[in-house]
Structure 1
Amino acid sequence: MDPTKYLEALVNANSKIIDQLYDKELPKVTRFVMQNNGGQQDAEDIFQKALLQLTTRYVAEPFEIKSSFEAYLFTVCKNLWRRELNSKKPRVTNATHLEPVYDPEDLALSAMEQKRWDLFKACFELLSENCKAVLQLFFNKVSYADIVSRLGYNSETVARQRVFKCKAKLTEFVKKDRSFKALREL
């Protein structure tokens, strides 16, 4: 389905599509959260918060999702959970009744994170296929020895140099982008 249709379904509270999202996407988010020091309730909270955030952002300023909606939603959930872990706020929950809390500052931070992530992805796509492969392995914490064997480099030194050059190229693309300065200052 077109990502915009999902966004419109959220705005219009289309329960059929929202239920499909919960059935299909919540298990993925739950796995991620549980693998990263969270529980089922945390995952449900993050998922609901992500849907609320996307809806609020789309109502305030319609935007286009260039990847699949599912991947975009998962990225939003990951960013929210990571920020939750970093903040280490004490949380009080009432298991019988959960109400979404509207926090404009939290939504603004999430929107900014998402714009930065979108800039990163767009600049990443400008890289050569080799650089994309090298950096994907590097970002996934694959060892240099494994990078050498997977990509056929001569040594770990060559792999390190390639990672360094590709990161430099990616940084160059990001800094040259016209939206970089505005995102950096916020």
Structure 2
Amino acid sequence: MDGNFYLDALVNGDSKVISKIYDINFKQVKRFIVQNKGNAEDAEDIFQKALLQIAVRHKKDGIQINTSFDGFLFTVCKNLWRRELNTHKKRVTISEVIELVSEAKDNANAIVEQKRQELFIEMLDRISENCKMILSLFFAKTPYAEIVANTEYTSETVVRQRVFKCKKKLTELIKQDQRFNSLREL
């Protein structure tokens, strides 16, 4: 079943399919959140927010998923959890004033962040296979020496130059896209 089947099931409230989504995906999300300063309750909250956010975006914007639904859902959960951790870091508690970020603003920021991720992935698909491979290794923090050992490149300098050129090409593609300006940091 493709990702759009799951999107439609979320929007229509199909409890059997939603239960299946939980069965397949929740353990992985819970493991990620618990390993990253969270607990089971946090995982449940993030999973619910992610499903709600995905359903709302599909209903409102008609989003399409070109990757696996499971991977898409996990990425949304991961982004929401990172945003949650960053929010807790930025809160300052003074005895007289406690500033809390509104949930609506937080959700809007999460949606923008997800759209940025989608634009990045879409543009990554447009660059050459060689650049995709090099950037995937680079973004996975693979040491340059290991990249040289596993590719046809002859030195770390050559790999660094290739990474630079591929990142430049990816950046140009992203900046040329009409969605770029609306997704930039304000």
Q: Report the TM-score when normalising by structure 1.
A: 0.87
Residue segments in structure 1 that go unaligned for 5+ positions in a row: 91-101
Q: Which amino acid aligns with 2:28?
A: K
Deviates more, 1:62-71 or 1:102-111: 102-111
After superposing on structure 2, the runs of 4+ consecutive aligned residues of structure 1 that deviate more than 4 Å are none
Deviates more, 1:16-25 or 1:39-48: 39-48
- CA–CA distance in structure 2, aligned partners of residues 4 and 157 of structure 1: 43
Q: Structure 1 residue 15 and structure 2 residue 15: aligned?
A: yes
- CA–CA distance in structure 1, aligned partners of residues 132 and 151 of structure 2: 12
- Which residues of 2 match residues 1-150 of structure 1 at below 5 A? 1-88=1-88, 103-150=103-150
Deviation at 1:46, TM superposition (A): 1.0
Q: Which amino acid aligns with 1:40?
A: A
Instruction: Say what the alpha-carbon RMSD is for the aligned residues.
Output: 1.8
- CA–CA distance in structure 2, aligned partners of residues 38 and 120 of structure 1: 27
Aligned residues: 175
Residue segments in structure 2 that go unaligned for 5+ positions in a row: 92-101
Task: State the SS of the aligned residue for 1:142.
Answer: coil
Q: Which amino acid aligns with 2:81?
A: W
- CA–CA distance in structure 2, aligned partners of residues 8 and 75 of structure 1: 19
Deviates more, 1:103-112 or 1:71-80: 103-112
Q: Percent identity?
A: 55
Deviation at 1:56, TM superposition (A): 2.0
